[in-house]
């Protein structure tokens, strides 16, 4: 997961948008950002998703709009990378990329773009769509896969119309999030993220994470907080709680079993961190998602 700048539309020579389909054994693990906005629908896959300072589990049937320059990655679980799974198509998605400045310049010739600019500003936190509006956008996006150039452009305009009108979404990154990653950080951040994802169920020590990138604890804490805008402990607990949320939807685990499997050393700590992040207790969350 390297936070590198990606030149998505460099080969399009000034085009406004591009459509892409992905059918792969697993998604790229490169943590990256780009000037282009990206509307992505994940059809099949699961793992951890990072958007800015948001860390959550993901699975198929999610629709997200990413604004300009927000670092992001869909990182698959370890089972995707070895054995038979690594040879099968397990990660499917479609994505619409559009250059915000070029799109605004084009549409401003025919209409007011004030509302669209508001959406693009909000999308710099990442927007996860839900409900009936998600379904309408999803159908338009999937339809672009088989359309000719003219009808694909019409679908782009209809998608923009839906994005502007949509009220069924949640913002992913925090209000104060800003991209502070630098190219020279890529390998160090990559090592730490991978270590956390692989060992969040264990007793993760700050000293061990710092040693991975050859830093003392104090320097590492400053480095990690400046890049992720979270402390190391906060980030680890985000990963643990996101995993617990996914387990609640896919099995009949007790709250105690969830707490220990996700790496917490006591049920009281698990309950406290869960309520801080989700603004409800684990039992309240389970009841809500299983209704």
Q: The domain that contains 222 carries what CATH number?
A: 1.10.10.60
Mark whether 94 and 222 lie in a shared domain.
no
- Of 111, 136, 171, the one marking the end of a domain is 171
Residue 106: is its pLDDT beyond 90?
Answer: yes
pTM score, whole prediction: 0.78
CA–CA gap between residue 265 and residue 239 (Å, rounded): 15
Residue 178 lies in a domain: no
Mark whether 127 and 250 lie in a shared domain.
no
- Of 171, 203, 227, the one marking the end of a domain is 171
Number of domains in the chain: 2
The string of pLDDT tens digits covering residues 28-62 is 767 778 889 999 999 999 888 889 888 888 989 99
DSSP assignment string, 121-132: HHGGG-EEE-HH
How far CA 110 is from CA of 82, 113, 151, 287, in Å, comes to 52, 9, 19, 48
Residue 1: is its pLDDT beyond 70?
Answer: no
Residue 176: is its pLDDT beyond 80?
Answer: no
Residue 262 lies in a domain: yes
Residue 176 lies in a domain: no
Domain containing 232: what range? 183-289
- Of 125, 147, 171, the one marking the end of a domain is 171
The CATH number of residue 116's host domain is: 2.60.120.10
**What does R_g of the chain's alpha carbons equal in angstroms?**
20
Q: How sure is the predictor about 158, in pLDDT bands with cuts at 50, 70 and 90?
A: very high
The string of pLDDT tens digits covering residues 221-276 is 998 888 888 899 999 999 999 888 888 877 677 888 888 889 998 899 999 999 98
For 264, half-sphere exposure in the C-beta direction (CA atoms, 13 angstrom radius) is 24
For 18, half-sphere exposure in the C-beta direction (CA atoms, 13 angstrom radius) is 16
Please name the residues in contact with 242: beta carbons below 8 A apart, sequence gap of 6 or more. Answer: 48, 55, 56, 57
Mark whether 157 and 223 lie in a shared domain.
no
């Amino acid at each position: 997961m390297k936070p590198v700048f990606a030149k998505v539309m460099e080969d399009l020579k000034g085009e406004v948008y591009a459509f892409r389909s992905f059918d792969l054994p697993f998604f790229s693990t490169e943590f990256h950002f780009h000037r282009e906005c990206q509307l992505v629908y994940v059809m099949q896959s699961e793992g951890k998703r990072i958007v800015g300072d948001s860390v959550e589990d993901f699975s198929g049937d999610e629709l997200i709009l990413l604004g300009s320059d927000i670092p992001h990655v869909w990182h698959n679980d370890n089972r995707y990378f070895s054995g038979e799974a690594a040879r099968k198509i397990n990660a499917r998605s479609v994505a619409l990329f559009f250059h915000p400045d070029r799109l605004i310049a084009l549409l401003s010739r025919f209409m007011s773009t004030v509302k669209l600019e508001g959406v693009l500003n909000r999308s710099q936190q990442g927007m996860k769509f839900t409900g009936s509006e998600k379904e309408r956008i999803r159908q338009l996006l999937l339809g672009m896969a088989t359309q000719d150039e003219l009808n694909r452009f019409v679908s782009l305009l209809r998608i923009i119309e839906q994005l502007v009108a949509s009220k069924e979404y949640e913002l992913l990154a925090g209000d104060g999030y800003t991209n502070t990653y630098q190219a020279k950080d890529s390998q160090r951040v990559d090592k730490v993220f991978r270590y956390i994802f692989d060992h969040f169920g264990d007793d993760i020590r700050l000293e061990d994470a710092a040693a991975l990138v050859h830093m003392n604890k104090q320097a590492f804490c400053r480095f990690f907080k400046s890049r992720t805008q979270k402390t190391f402990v906060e980030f680890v607990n985000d990963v643990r709680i996101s995993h617990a949320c996914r387990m609640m939807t896919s099995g009949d685990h007790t709250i105690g079993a969830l707490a220990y499997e996700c790496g917490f050393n006591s049920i009281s700590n698990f309950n406290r961190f869960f309520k801080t992040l989700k603004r409800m207790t684990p039992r309240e969350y389970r009841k809500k998602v299983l209704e």
